[in-house]
Structure 1
Amino acid sequence: MWFDSWGDIARVLLVGSAAYATLIVVLRLSGKRTLSQLNAFDFVVTVAIGSTLATILLSSDVSWSEGLAALALLVGLQLVVALVSSRWPRTRSVVSAQPVVLVRDGALRRDAIARNRLTETEVEQAVRSSGSGDLASIAAIVLKTNGTLSVIPREKYGDGSAMGSMRDRDAADET
């Protein structure tokens, strides 16, 4: 339980060092998007990469070359999905959620809050965390694709150009 052999320790050190170096190279080649966690799919891939690295380090049943293949597969598939979803917007909804406006002009959109399995208390907590105590001072609260809440005060809303297509979806939801 406390110690098996020096050979096992040496294997972890050698294979672990090689796997770590390989991971750095693979991640650098794949670009920033691989670990960006822009949405739930990105998060799952990041966790899978970490789990794969841990398996390479700790399981003597997995060789370094098998681990390299697994890491390359995960990163390669992530690249393919990112390319496809960036080139063909209709495919984006398959791997990522759309941002949702939960508060518009200080008014809670209770239907959107309920549809996204949140509570009004959680939305109010986001307002307080942003340093505001008044919903009327908030232009919008957006549930982003990664599950976090973005609070936009009225004085920073500007022309609302960062709201993009959410304005169109809002209008459709209200009719």
Structure 2
Amino acid sequence: MFTADATLDAVSRGAILSSLSLLWVILLIRVNGLRSLSKMTNFDFIMTVAMGSLVAGGSQVTEWTDFLQVAIAMAALFAFQHIVARLRKASRTIEKVIQNEPILLMRNGVVLEEALRKSRVSEDDLFAKLREANVLRLSDVRAVVLETTGDVSVLHGKEMDKDLIRSVRSPADS
């Protein structure tokens, strides 16, 4: 693709094509906006993983037409994400179809065993997240939420505004 020497060509392709791929992703993010790889939703997370895979694939191609295909696939994913984000914003039904609901795992110092079971989160994993959040007493925990991205949010302190968990599903809601 770049030189007749196989080793030099492999090194050149790796360096040049991966750089071009990253520059293309940066341009697409500038056009589509910072939220593109934000991991705010499960769809965003999938987008991030797919972009990584496409950048890796783009750095390994041996023909320019293959590189063009990767670049077009990247642009198509960004366009699709943009369309889906607009549809989600416009329709609560589409939002519910595409997006998982966050799940309440703990409330006011009490572990919600049924929620742990349904979400397949172990108590050990929950306690690890509590330690990460510097929780010193379970009674200080107002809520622990398994977010739509798989992240765990720990809300602790003396009081909590109930609006923070208004869209969070509890085991009783299921």
TM (normalized to structure 1)? 0.83
Q: Quick one: distance in 2 between partners of 1:99 and 1:77?
A: 24
- Cα shift at 1:37: 1.0
Alignment match, 1:46 = 48
TM (normalized to structure 2)? 0.84
Alignment match, 2:172 = 173
Q: 2:126 aligns with which of 123, 128, 133?
A: 123
Alignment match, 2:84 = 81
Q: Quick one: distance in 2 between partners of 1:36 and 1:132?
A: 26
Which amino acid counterpart does residue 4 of structure 1 have in structure 2?
A: A
Runs of 5+ in structure 2 lacking a partner? none
Q: Quick one: distance in 2 between partners of 1:164 and 1:21?
A: 40
Matches of residues 86-101 of structure 1 in structure 2 within 5 Å? 86-101=89-104
Q: Percent identity?
A: 25
Alignment match, 2:156 = 153
Indicate the larger mover: 142-151 or 128-137: 128-137
Count residues in correspondence: 169
Distance 1:136 1:5, change over 3 A: closer
- Cα shift at 1:94: 2.7
Distance 1:53 1:103, change over 3 A: same
Matches of residues 9-88 of structure 1 in structure 2 within 5 Å? 9-61=11-63, 62-88=65-91
**CA deviation profile, 1:7-58 (whole Å, cap 9, x unmatched):** 4444444444433322211111011221011233211211111111111111
**CA deviation profile, 1:120-159 (whole Å, cap 9, x unmatched):** 22222222222223221211111111112111113252x3
Moved beyond 6 Å, runs of 4+:
none
